[in-house]
Amino acid sequence: MGNGLITNPIIWADVPDPDIIRVGHHYYMVSTSMHVMPGCPIMKSQDLLNWEIVNYVYDSFENNDAHNMVDGKNIYGQGSWAASLREHNGLFYVCFSSNDMHQFYMYTTDDIENGNWQRSVINGLIHDPSLLFDEDRVFVIYGNGGIYITELTADATAVKEGGIAQLLLETESEGIGLRCEGCHAYRIDGIYYLFFIEWPTVGNKRRRQICYRSSKLLGPYERKIILDDDMGYSNNGIAQGGIIETQDHKWYTLLFQDHDAVGRIPVVQPIEWLDGWPIIGIDGKASETFATDFPYTPSKPIVMSDEFDYEENQLALNWQWNHNPNDQLWSVTQRDSHLRLTTGNVVDSVLKARNTLTQRTEGPACVVTSVMDISNMKHGDHAGLIALQNLFGTVGVKVDSNGDRVVVMSVNDGDGMEAIIESLPYDHSIIYFKIEFNFENSIDIAKFYYASEDGQWIEIGYPLEMKYTLDHFMGYRIGLFNYASLETGGYVDIDYFHFAKLVNGTYTIMK
């Protein structure tokens, strides 16, 4: 065995509401993806520290105006929430609810890394669900405060007629702001364990992890607080996630912690069993670093650079679109080693623009650079790099109604529209962009730069004070965008996307 070391956060990026399973030596994780597509990323690890993206559950799960961002509609902060991942008898299951659709989605495959997922839909919201396979029966346990249980058919595609469907328990309400939700249900050694997140308004006043247990599925259940700690970070509690048993019968949990603008980041902690209760951390405290028996197994980066050198018109798994893309309007094969983004509908804000291509940001700090050929933009077009959240910042090029190019830095004006902070004439056909992100100690500042072909970086606008807001409910992402405000059909060709993150005091290019 190895002498691996877990250092938290295991991924300093937005990977919220994680759920985890083990298959042999491999661990698989799913997380919330809301309005970015493809969605429900499947990540893989052998040591619980190094993870890579190996699949998505769906390319898109609905085809309507809101998911396509048409006619001013959108699903920011909605889409897929808090997915549950399970394996049972050789099949893999992922389920989630979509608040905008008021539906519950179930996906299955026999190949979690390479397979296509079969989809079924159940009407109605099943909030923050957890699948529970109990011998030959299938249940979903869900809710907020009031926790419900519903029995599904054996194939988990529908509610079982005549099956269990009832309130399972009422969780604590006195002194609690956010009552228990985010269920993760297990049967271990004949005991049923239900894990939840809650947020009290008394005591430490931070998110904490709760466990309910019972020897009977329908209760009664006992309750215990099993982690109430912020690991020294801003009284932001660590909670909501799954537990896992290794092949040598050690236990760990995968939870998340709010880290302001970068998002909700995953944290691994050991579990010790005491009197039949799982106690998280070391001596009841979350640990930034602890030793494991895992061999160190490096993996591909979660956020990566891209030269756009593809033989087929298919992007690396690290990329996700803001809402459903129009696949007729992007290409990595029309021009060798370039990403082409073509405008397809007229909008008045980058927040309404389709085909904005995104990756996560990463802490403690990261830098992204890109270069665009802007010679085929049309009047009214706007293209560039964005620090994407509701309170966005962009550095880009606009073509005015006279056909003149200007380089601009813009932000949200408060109503989702773009306020131009600085605008400068630009008369070249090639332009370089850079954004520097600093998340260390919640500084949460982004700075914006451009350069012409002589390569001298010029800062533009002002540093953006990044804020995590619940209307998007997502950490800041890096986006490549091009949209039309007057006429469609213009395009930009992007030569590369280079991403570097701060590792041990040095910026390292991620490839």
Task: Please indicate whether residue 181 is annotated as part of the active site.
Answer: yes
Question: Across the strands, what pairs with 369?
Answer: 434, 498
356: tokens are: 């904005």
- The count of C-alpha atoms lying within 13 angstroms of the C-alpha of 367, restricted to the half-sphere facing its C-beta, is 12
Nearest to 406 by CA among 384, 388, 391: 384
Question: Which long-range contacts link 450-456 to residues 24+ away (Cβ below 8 Å)?
Answer: 450/395, 450/407, 450/426, 452/426, 452/428, 453/428
Q: Which tokens is 501 given?
A: 């993150």
Place of tokens 């990403």: 339
Residue 148: what are its φ and ψ, rounded to 5°? -115, 155
One-letter amino acid at 221 equals Y
Contacts of 436 (CB under 8 A, 6+ apart): 365, 366, 367, 446, 447, 449
Active-site residue (options: 17, 100, 306, 418): 17
d(CA 419, CA 410): 5
170 counts as catalytic: no
Of 371, 367, 375, 365, the closest CA to residue 384 belongs to 371
Catalytic residue among 14, 19, 181, 418: 181
Kindly state the tokens that stand for 13: 């990026």
- As a 3-state breakdown, the chain gives helix, strand, coil percent values, each rounded to 5, of 0, 50, 45
Q: Angle at the Cα of 146 (from 221 to 179), degrees rounded to 5? A: 95
Which pair of tokens denotes residue 491? 């395009």
Is there a cis peptide before residue 463, judged by omega within 30 degrees of 0? no
> Strand runs (DSSP E) across 338-404, as ranges?
339-342, 357-360, 365-373, 381-388, 393-399
Rounded to whole angstroms, what are the CA distances from 14 to 18, 76, 90, 259, 408?
10, 15, 30, 9, 28
Sign of CA dihedral 280, 285, 286, 288: negative
Q: Is 46 left (phi over 0), alpha (psi -120 to 50) or beta?
A: alpha
Q: How many angstroms separate the CA atoms of 476 and 389, rounded?
A: 5
In the block, residue with structure tokens 């009832």: 166
| Cα 484 from chain centre | 28
- Here the tokens at position 287 are 């640990």
Rounded-to-integer distance, Cα 41 and Cα 316, Å = 13
DSSP of 448-483: EEEE-TT---EE-S--EE----TTTTS--EEEEEEE
- Pick from 401, 420, 400: which is nearest to 410 by CA? 420
Catalytic residues: 17, 181
